[in-house]
Chain A
Amino acid sequence: MIRMNEVFKEYANGTKALKGVTFELNAGEFAFLVGPSGSGKSTIIKLLVGEIAPSDGEVVVNGQDMDNIKMRKMPYLRRTIGCIFQDFRLIEYKSVYENVAFAMRVIGASNKDIRQRVPYVLELVGLEYKAKARPDELSGGEQQRVAVARALVNNPKLIIADEPTGNLDPARSLEILLLLKKINELGTTVLVVTHEKPLVDQFSQRVIAIDGGRIVSDALDRYYNYESQ
């Protein structure tokens, strides 16, 4: 599903964001990627979705080697990945329903498929009754659930969430993580990036810890142990 092998990333300004990152995430797995601010978490996400290219090393996502991918193929790879971000990234002037349907429209789905699939994912995130609302009429937690529905709607194999709870209070944050875990139970591979230790502590899941561009720990429940060393 995801394989990073000795990956280095140096930005144009000389910042060495990753210094030899190696990890794998298999199909059906759920994992947290944790680490302090500036440790390289978002850089890993950007490499996985092909937004940037590695300076060295191997990045494979859903069977595709990101080094050899042609620009024309990139959209089709991205359809196999659902992305969620801290700032929700909803379109302000579209309704909840349209925001989710939009993700299907822009990859050319038929109206029939859209009418079937959108209500289903809205129900899954518990927002079917807010379908006609606009994003600014929703709470932060509800907006993020719309973003989760959008990430899900094209039935991706992998969901990547970069600090999905960064703008939410603890209760809403837990709600989102429980929702992502539920989606994982339904068969989707999930990678969640966060730096909120209390949140991660509540789950008994794999935790990959990164610091200064290097993986410092990768185990079940090890985030706590790593922090206290």
Chain B
Amino acid sequence: MKVNRNRTFYYLKEGISSIFAHSLMSFASICIIVAFLVIMGTFILLAVNINSLIGDLESENIVLAYVHENLSENDARALEPVILAIPNVTSAVFISREEALQSFIGRYDDTDRYDDVDATWFRHRFAVYVSDVAQIAETQNSLRYIREIATVNANLAIANGLVTFRTVVSWVSVIMVAVLLAISLFIMQNTIKLATFERREEISIMKMVGATNSFIRWPFIVEGFILGLIGALIAYGATWSLYGLASRSVIEFAGFFQLMPLSSNVSVPIFLLYTGIGFGVGVGGSGIALNRYLKV
């Protein structure tokens, strides 16, 4: 297939040379792709960090299940598998009445005031950890059904607060990404419109001498593909270094909290997302903008 190799070479050569021939437009397109991807990436990373922060808070948001006082410590400990069998429960840590007493006394400075406090006044208890705070009320009810459990104490206010916070964060992220997407599509569409407007003569010459639509389109697709790739790579590099910078300053100024490290299970999806959007915007954009000129 000699002719086909010729054509592929032609598409590549035309696509690449037109990037340089229209360097200002190429530069503008890359800038818009980079700006959009970096802003979007920032939001995604922010959302990922907020989610992991919520996750940390959730894991601390425990339910306390108090065991009936007539059970021995061994019988009480034996309840652990029963508790673990409840859906939504991730772990249950047994706290004996002695430990409960110690931690109670530990909260106060003048310990001798509680010298006469007896551990038997306390109940054995389980600290129960849940996976989803939104279902904490159901989990509480399930625990109450266990006969040996005297009473259950869950912090519903904190749980509800977390759920609301998470919902708000999700909605804000979705809306921000949608608004960003709309704005950058608008800008991109106009950039490409300008780029093809600049080349309307060239396209009309191609039509005049009898080029098929696909022959006209391919060099533009190659061009969009390359611009998208360059934009995605630059954006990825920029995001990476900005995130590193942000992580260092967060550690410096707010030692108690740190950003998630950019492990491969975050960076690889972001890289794929960037290249995917880069290609989509580059190729799709030039294809849509061309349609106007191909209908002659």
On whether A150 and B6 interact (CB within 8 A), knowing A89-B201, A93-B21, the answer reads no
Kindly identify, within residues 208 to 264 of chain B, every residue whose CB is under 8 Å from any CB belonging to chain A: 208-213, 215-216
Q: Report Cα–Cα, A75/B214, bound state, in Å.
A: 11
Does B210 contact A77, Cβ atoms closer than 8 Å? yes
Cross-interface CB contact of B209 among A93, A103, A111, cutoff 8 Å: A103
Cross-interface CB contact of B211 among A49, A91, A93, A107, cutoff 8 Å: A107
Residue of B nearest to A89 (CB): B205
Interface digits, B1-25 against A, CB 8 Å rule (1 contact, 0 not)?
0110011001000000000010000
Q: Report Cα–Cα, A227/B218, bound state, in Å.
A: 50
Q: A102 contacts the other chain (Cβ, under 8 Å)?
A: yes
Does A108 contact B210, Cβ atoms closer than 8 Å? no
Majority DSSP secondary structure for residues of B touching A: helix
Does B296 contact A102, Cβ atoms closer than 8 Å? no
Does B212 contact A75, Cβ atoms closer than 8 Å? yes
Q: A225 contacts the other chain (Cβ, under 8 Å)?
A: no
Q: B204 contacts the other chain (Cβ, under 8 Å)?
A: yes
Does B7 contact A89, Cβ atoms closer than 8 Å? no
**Residues of A close to B7: CB separation below 8 A:** 108
B16 CB → nearest A CB, Å: 14
Residue of B nearest to A92 (CB): B201
Residue of B nearest to A99 (CB): B205
Does A76 contact B210, Cβ atoms closer than 8 Å? yes
Q: Report Cα–Cα, A93/B18, bound state, in Å.
A: 10
Q: B78 contacts the other chain (Cβ, under 8 Å)?
A: no
**Residues of B close to A105: CB separation below 8 A:** 10
**Residues of B close to A111: CB separation below 8 A:** 6
Q: B207 contacts the other chain (Cβ, under 8 Å)?
A: yes
Cross-interface CB contact of A83 among B6, B208, B211, B213, cutoff 8 Å: B208
A-B contacts, 6 of them at CB < 8 A, read A83-B209, A91-B201, A91-B202, A106-B206, A106-B209, A107-B210
List chain B positions with a Cβ less than 8 A from chain A: 2-3, 6-7, 10, 21, 201-202, 204-213, 215-216, 296
Extra 9 A-B pairs, beta carbons < 8 Å, given A75-B213, A78-B210, A106-B215: A49-B208, A75-B207, A76-B210, A91-B201, A91-B205, A106-B206, A107-B210, A107-B215, A108-B3
